[in-house]
Structure 1
Amino acid sequence: MFLVEDDEGGGHYVCASYRVLSEAGGEDRYARLVAALNAYPDPIVIFDQDLKLVFCNDGYAASMSDDPRELSEGMHLREVLELAVRDGRYPDAVGREEDWINRILSPEFLESRWEDVELDGDVHHRLLRSRSSFGDHVVIRLNSTELVRQKRAAEAAQARLIAALNAYPSPFVIYDSDDCLVVCNDAYRASMSNDPSDLKVGMHRTEVGRIAIRAGKIANAIGREEEWMSDEHQQAELAKPVQDLELPGDVHHRLLRSRVENGDLVILRIDTTELVRQRRALEAAQDRLVSAIRAYPDPFAIYDVDLKLMVWNPAYEEAMASNDGPLKAGTRLKDVLRGVAWSGRIPAAVGREEEWAEEYAASPRLTAPGIEDIELADDQHHRVVRSRTENGEFVVLRLNFTEVVRQRRALEQANREITHMALHDDLTGLGNRRYLAQKFEELEQARLESGGEIAALHIDLDRFKTINDTMGHAAGDEVLLTIARRILRHIGPEDSVARIGGDEFVILMPIAGDSRRPEQLAETLLADLARPLLFEGKECRFGASVGLARTPLARPDQLLTTSDLALYKAKRQGRGRLGIFDRSDLEEVQRNKALADDVLRALEAGEFEPFYQPIVDAKSGLTVAIETLARWRHPSKGIQLPGTFLPIATDLNVAADLDRQVFERAIAECQQAFGRWSRPPSLSFNVSEDRINPGTMETIRRQVAGYSGQVSFELLETIFLEEQDDDFLERLGQLRKLGIAIEVDDFGRGRASVVALQRINPDRLKIDRRLSALVGSGSSGLRLLRSIIEIGHALELGVTAEGVETREQADILAGLGCDRLQGFYFARPMAFTDLMRFLEEPGQRRQEA
C-alpha cells in the first residue's frame, strides 16, 4: 500500500495491491492483509466490474450502515447506497434519494477520479476512485473534515482581511517577488484606475502603472509617460522607502514601501492632503508673521534661553543700536543694554551708564514676564511687555504710548477739574452735598480709628429771599459770596464747609468730646453774618440762624438731619439764634425711627387692613355702597387710625405699598362676601393723584377685575384745580375704561370750580363733613348746601353727604337732594366681621342671587 499525489484534484491516492498466494502460508498472509486494511481508519472498498461488492474494510462498512454486518460480498452498489441513504449517511440525498443514487451509479460519476462529499454531522470525505487490471472499482475515502474546516477558517480570515483592507481609507497593495499583483484594497483600485475592475490579481506592477497613467492618476507622469515607465525610473522609485506624490486636484499621498521576507512588496499610501495644505498655511503664516514683525512700527525682539539676540525688527534696531554699530545676532542682552545706555536714550542712565546697565541687567524684573513703563529722552514713553515661550525663549515688545501718557495727563487734570466741579459749588467755590457726604465718611473713619467726635453746624440765612426779590439775583449772589468768605475766615484747617442749598451752609468739625469750639464758632458766625454789606451803593441787611448737632448724641449718619432739626428749633425761637440738638430732640427722632421701623415691620407682617363704613340710600336706608379705609391692627396697641402711621409711611415712600395691601385685601374679602349678590354694594377707595399714573394702570386693572361690583376712586377735591392738564384727564379716561367710577371727595373744602368739575366730569360729589354740619346753623348754611347740591344735579352727578351724625341731619340732607348719606349716625368704620354682622341686621340685608 502506498500514496500517490493527485496533481489535478489535490491531496493523495492511497493505493493497495494484494494477491492470493497459493503456496504454503498464502492464506495466513491474506488474513494479515485484511487485518491491516481493517485497521486503516478511512473507508476502503472494491467493487467488481458489475458493481458487486468484492471487499470492504470495517471503516467502509461503518460509514455506510448502522449495522456493518448488513454489507456482504456480492452485494450490488445500489444496495449499499440504499443502506447509506436509509441510515442518513448522506445529507445531500435527503428528499431526493432515488435521483441521488442514480447519479452515483452513472458511468460519468463512476469514472471520475475523485469527489468531495459531505456527511452527516459536518463530516467531510474525499473519494478517490481507480480501476484495477481486472476491471474492479477501487474506492478509498479519506477523512478531510479537518482540512475542510481549516480551509473555511482560512477563507473567513482572508475575507475579514480583505474587508478590513477595503475599509481602510488609504490605498494598500501587495505585489509578489515577481512584481505581480497579489492583493489590493478598493482605495488602491480607485487611486490607480477610473474602472476598479481594470486591476486583476497577477497583473504586473508596470501594467498597473500604465493603467494609472492612462487614467491621469499620476500627476508627475503627465507629459513624460515613457520616461516615468522606464526601468531606470521604476527601479529608482522602488528604492525609495518613503515618497511623496502629488495627484490631480491638489491631492497629496505619501507612499510607504517595504519588502517582506518572502520577497513581497507592500505599498501603503497615506492621504496627506490636509497635512500638506496645513504645512503650506503654516509656512504662509510664518512668512506673514516675519513680514508683520519687520513691518511692526514698535520695537520687537526675541532672545534665546541664554539671553542672546535671535530675532528683531528694524524698530528694535533703531531703538537699541549703540554707537558700536547695528545689532548682531548672538549679542547678549546685557551688552545691548550697555549700548543703549551710552547712546543717551535713557534719561535715568545719563552720567551713570555702566552702573545703570549693571543694575538693570541684574534686576529680576528684566527677564520675568510682566509689563514695565519706561521714560525715554524727549518726553517719550514706552511700555515694555516681556514674556517667556514654552521653550524658554525671551520675547520683548516695546509699545510707544507717549501719546497715551500725554492724554492721560490731560485726562487726569480734566478729572481733577471735573471732580472739583462735581464736589464744589459753582458760585462760592465751597463744597456741595457730594463733598459733604465724602467728608462725613472721612471724619467717621478717622473717629473710628483715632477717637474724638464730630459736630455739624447748619446755617440758614435770614431775609435772603427779600434781597433777591427786591435787589435782584446779582445782589443775592454777592451776599452768598460774602457769607462764604466770612465763614472760611473763621473755620480751622481741619474743618469742612459746604453750601447745600440756596442759602444753606453746613460746617463739619472734628472735635474733642468736651470741646466748646462748635458753640463758640456758632456765636462768632451769628455776629459776623449779621453785619450788612453794600451792593451798588445800597445796604443789604441779612442775618443767620444756626443749628448745632454733635456725636455721640446723634449718630454720624444723622448729623445732617439732627442739625437741621436744631436749625428749625432756632427759627421757632425767633431767628438769629443758635439751636442745639438735645436729648429731647433725640427722643423725638428715636420715637419717629421706632415708629418707622414698626410701620415697615407691620407692612411685611400684613397688619394693615381695610375697615368699612357703609353708605346708605337716602330714601330706603339700605346700604348701597361701602367706603374702604386703612387701619393698622397693631399687636400691642390695637387699632391705629391713619393719622398715626400715614405721615411716616409717606416719608418712607411706602404709602403706595400700604394702599395696595389694603386694596387687595378689601377686594378679596368683599368678592367672597358679595360676589354672588345680584347687586353687590359698590366699593370706594381714597386715592391720591400720584396713585393714578400710566405705570400702575395694568395693576389697577388686574385688581379691579377681582370684584363683581362697582369700584369707585375717591379723589381729593383739592387736586381738581382748573390747571389740571390733558394728560391727567386722559388717565381719568383710562380708569373709566376699566369700569372705575370717579368721585370727588371732601367737596367744598378746596378750590375746585364748576369749570374744573365739567372738565373732570366725575360720577359723584361727596360733600365735606364740615359742610354737612351746617344744616343746624340756620338759613345761610342751608342755602350754601342747597347750592352745592344743585351744582351736582346740574352736572348730572350723584351727591353723597358725609359726616351725618343725627336723624335731623339725615332728613334735611335727603330733603335737599342728597341721594346717599354717610356718617356715624348710620355706622362707624368697622372690621370685616363687624360689617357682615351689621348687614345681617333687620333692614340692612341685601338681595342675594
Structure 2
Amino acid sequence: MSLENILQNFLSLTQDAVAAGYRAKGDDTARLVYVNQGFVDVFGYTLEDVVNHPASILHDHDDWRDFVEKIAPQIAAGLPRFQSEARNRRADGSKFWASISLMYADYDEDGGRYSAAVYRDISELVQQRTNAEAAQTRLLDAINAYPDPFAIYQTDGTLSICNSAYAAVSSKDPQKIRPGMTYREIVSITLDDGLQLEPPEGRKAYFERTENEARAGIDVVDLELPGDRHHRVMRNVSESGNIIVQRVDITELVRQRRAAEEAQNRLLSAINAYPDPFVIYDRDMRLVTCNTAYRESMSTNPEAIRPGMHVGEVLNHAMDCGLIPEPPEGREAYVNGIIEDALKGKRAVDIEFAGDTHNRVLRSITENEDYVSISVDITELVRQRHTAEAAQKRLMSAINANPAPFCIYEPNGTLVAHNRAYALDFCKDPSRIRAGMKLDEVMRVALENRVFPDAIGREEEWLANMMANKRTVAPVEDIRLSGDRIHRTFRSHSDDGDLIIMRIDMTEQMRQRKALEEHAEQLERANDEITYKAFHDELTGLGNRRYLIDEFEKFRQKREADGGELAVLHIDLDRFKQINDTMGHAAGDHVLKEVAERIRGRVRPDDVVARIGGDEFVILIWQPELTERPLALAATLVNDMFRPCSFQDRECRFGASAGLACTPLAEVEDLLTSSDIALYKAKRGGRGQVGVFDAQDVEEMLRTKAMADDILRGIESSEFVPYYQPQIDASSGQVVGIEALARWEHPDKGIVPPSEFLSVAADLNVVSDIDSLIFEKAIAECSELFSGSDIIPSLSFNVSANRVIEGAYENIARHVSQYPGEIAFELLETIFLEEQDDVFLFQLDRLRDLGISIEVDDFGSGRASIVALQRIAPDRLKIDGRLVMPIAESTSAARLVKSIIEIGNALSIPVVAEGVETAEHARILAELGADRLQGYHFSKPLSGSRLRDYLFGSLRQACSN
C-alpha cells in the first residue's frame, strides 16, 4: 500500500478538516494530494477540485505571503509539527480564520516532503479577540486622554497600566515608567527627579507607612509637591484585586482652603478685637462662638464661657458673678423671656441698669437659623439724647430771640412755626401772622403792607406767579424788600418734607459787594496794566523778551497748524555805547525810541517787534510762503539806522547790524539762536551789514566758541606776552622808542598774532584784560632790560577808550613808576576822538600827571579832525602804515603824508610813520620831516630776548661808526 493510501485511510478517521500535500524536491509550494470529508464540509472543495493544486488556493491571497513568512522559521528549524493561524478562503470565496496544526515528514525515495494540515474554524474567537483588542485600545486611548494621572497596579504591587499624565508626574522622562515596575521603584524615580518632596521620615519609613495605609484601606492621601503644588491620591480596589490609583490636582483647592482659613482667622480676630460683646447661638440656643468682650461681660472668669453652653446656663452664670442684676421676676422667667424675644425675632432691646448705664442688644437670625447678638453700650447716647432735647428747647428759644426771620411750612403750605422777626417783616402787627395760616394768606398780608416793591401795582399777578412757582423756587434767593432792603432767603426741606425758611438781611453786605466789585474792576484794570508792563518795554512801548517768547510760541503753533515759514530778524545798534558814554543816557534813550519808531514804520501789523536788550531788537515774521521780504526789510532797516537823529541840538550818529534766520534753512526751535549767530556774522563782517544764517554759520560759531574758550583759558594761564617793534629816529637812526604789541604764546599753536584772536577777544570784552597783561609784563621786562642804561627808549602801548575811562588808575600808576623811561598810550583814531566828552579828557590829564605821553595811532584812517587834535593835544601822531606804503611810487601819496606831517608841525606835534618796509620809504619820510620811523625795514616785532640782541647789535654798530 502506498504512503498516500495510508494517509487517506488515516485521515478519513477524523472529523476535523484535514488536507495532505506533497512538495517534490525543487518545488516552492506543496501541492494537495488528499482532503477528507471534514475538509469538504468546511471548505466546500471536493478532492477533485484541489488535487494537484498548490496549497495557496486554500488561503486568502492577501495573507498568503505573510503566512509563509510566519511558518518558514519553524520549517527551517526542522520541527515535525507546530501550530499557526491564517485567514483561509472557501470555494464560494468567503473567508474565515482557522487554527492550523501542521505536520511534516520527509520522503527519502525522491527527496520530497509530505505535509498534513488540520483546520479548525476560529473566526468567532478571532472576532472576539479583535473586539477585545479594540476595546483595550479604546480604553488605553481614553485613559491617556484623561487629564488626571491614572494607573492600575496588580495585586502583587506591580504596575499594570498607566496613562501619560501618570507617567509625566512620576518622572521627568515618562518613558522610564513601564508596566511591571513596583510602586517603590516608581516613587523612587519620582523622588530622584524632584517631582515629589522628600519625606521627612526617610524613604524606607515612608514606603512602609504608605503601604500600611493602603493595606488599612486608607483610600485618599494628599501629597505636597515642589512649588507649593498639591495632589490628592485616590485608591480603589477592583473585584479582581487590582489597585486603581487616580491623582487629582488640588493645588487651587488647598490654596482656597488656606485663604478661607486665613479669612476665618481674620474674622475671629476681628470679632475678638471688636470692643462690644458679640455672640452667636445656634437654633437650640447653644453657644457657637463669641468674642472676648462677651465672655468678660458674662463672667469674672472668661474661660468659663465655652462653646456648647446653653444661653440659660450663660445667663445664670452671669447672674452668679453679679454681672447681671437679679431680675425681679426671677431667673427662670427672665431667661425664658429673653429666649422668647429672640424666637419672636425682636431685633433690638434697650436695657437700663443701675448707675444710669444703658445697653442696646441687637439681634439677627442667619440663613442657617443661628442667632447673632451684639450688645452696644448706649449710655453716652442716651445721655446725649437727653442733652439734645434740652438743647432743642434752648434752640427754639434762641430762634425766637433771633432777629433774623425764620419759619417752617408744612408740605401743603401751612405755617407751622415762625419767630417774631418773620412776622414783623411782613406787617407792623406781628399778631396777624399766626401758625396754621396758608402761604398765600401770609403773602397777602405782606402785599397789603407793600413789602415787595416788584409786586406794587400787580399784586394778584405777582401772587399767582409766586404760588405757581413755589415748588421750583431756588434754595438760595436774594429778595428786594421795601426800604431798599435786600434779604437773602435760604430754603431747605426736612426729612418729613417741611419747608424751612431763614432770611438774612444782606443790605449792607450787598452794598459792600458792589463796592468790592468796583474795586475788583479797578484791580483788573491795574492788573492788565501790570501785565502789559511785564510784557512790554517801558521806554519804547515794544514787547520785551517775555513777550517775544510768548509770541514766538504762537507763531510756531500757527506754522504747525497753517503751514508757512517763519523769519527772525535780530538788530543790534552800532556805536550806541559811544552815544551813552559821550552824550549821556538821555541821548541813548532818545535814540532807542527813535529806532523803535523807525522799525514800527517799516513792519506790518501782524509782525512782532520786541526790544530784548539795551540796544537789541527782534522782529518775528510769518509769511504763507518763503519770500525775499524779511531780507529786504533787514536791508531797509540797516539803511534807516545810518540816518542820524538830533538830541538837544546835537547830532547822534549810529548804525546797525542785522542777523536774519528763516525756516526752512533753520529749525523753528533754533530760530532765535540762529538769528543771533547771523548777527554775530554781520558784525564780524564789519558791522552795518545784514548777516543771513546758513549751515556753515553753526560751524563758524563752534570754531569761535572754541577760540573764545581758549582765549579765556589763555588769560587765566597768562599766555599773552608782549612783542616789541623798535622806533627809529629819522635823523640819527638810533632806537628811540619801542611799541609793545600783543602776541599769544599758545601751548599748541605757537605764537598767535592779534589778527587771529583780537576780534573774538573784543566780542568777549576781554581786550582790556589782555592789554593789562601786556602792559604789566612789558613794564617788568623792559625795566629789567634797560636797568642802568644811559639811553632808555620810550615804551608805547595801544589802548582803547574803555581802558582810558575805566582803567584801574592806581594799578597803572604803580606799574608806570617801575619803568625808568617814557611810557606812551597810543589812542586808536577809531575812538572818535572828536566826540569824547570832558570825562575822557579828564582821564587823559590824569594819565599825563603820571608821566604818560598820549599818542594818536593810525592817523589818517579814521575820523579825527584838527579840532579833535587841538582838544586832546597829543604828544605824537602816528601815520597809518597804509598811507605810507605807496609813497615810493605815488607822488600824490607822498603829498598826503607830507600834509599830515605839516599838520603835526603846525600843532607842534612830532610825527611817527608806520609801515616803513624799504630804505626808500625811510629816505622819503626823513625828507618829508617825519620824526620817528617804524616798520619791517628796521625790524619785525621781537620777543624780549631777541629785542635785547637787537638793541645791543644796534649799539655795537653805532659805536663802530
TM range (shorter): 0.3 to 0.5
> TM-score when scaled to structure 2?
0.38
> TM-score when scaled to structure 1?
0.42
Q: Higher relative CO (CA 8 A, sep ≥ 6), structure 1 or 2?
A: 1
Select the structure of larger CA radius of gyration. 2
